[in-house]
Amino acid sequence: MANPQEIPQLATELFEMAKEYLRQETVEPAKRLGKQAGLGIGGAILMSIGSFLLVLGAYFAYRMLLPEGEWWEILARGLTALTAAIGTMLVAWRIGAGDANHS
C-alpha cells in the first residue's frame, strides 16, 4: 500500500495517464474523422456542381437540336428532366449494387 506522502503524486500520475489515454483514444481519431468528413463534403459539393452543369448542358443541347418554338422548348425541358432522372436512377442503382457486393 502507498505511503500517505505518495498519494498526491500517484493521483497526479493517474490524472495525467487518464488525460493522455483520452487524447489518444478520442481526440486523435476525431481529428482524422473530421478530415475525412471534410473531404467527403467537398467531393459532394463538386459532384453536385458538375451534375448541375451537365444537366444544363444537356438542356441547351436539346434546345439546339430541336426546332424553334414554344412547344419544342417545353419538349427540351421534358427531355432534360427525363435524362436527369435516368442518370439519377443509374447512379443510385450502381451505389446499391456496390453495397450488395460488400456485404
Residue 13 has pLDDT above 70, yes or no: yes
In angstroms and rounded to an integer, the radius of gyration of the C-alpha atoms of the chain is 29
Residues 57-100: tens digit of each pLDDT: 999 999 999 999 999 999 999 999 999 999 999 999 998 887 66
| Angle between helices 70-102 and 28-65 in degrees, nearest 10 | 150
Question: Which of 23-27, 35-39, 48-52 is predicted with the least confidence, judged by mean pLDDT?
Answer: 23-27
Helical ranges in 1-103 per DSSP H = 7-22, 28-65, 70-102
Q: pTM score, two decimals?
A: 0.64
**What does the mean pLDDT of the chain come to?**
89
Where residue 69 falls (left for φ over 0; alpha for ψ -120 to 50; beta otherwise) is left
| Cell 418554338 sits on residue | 69
pLDDT value for 25: 84
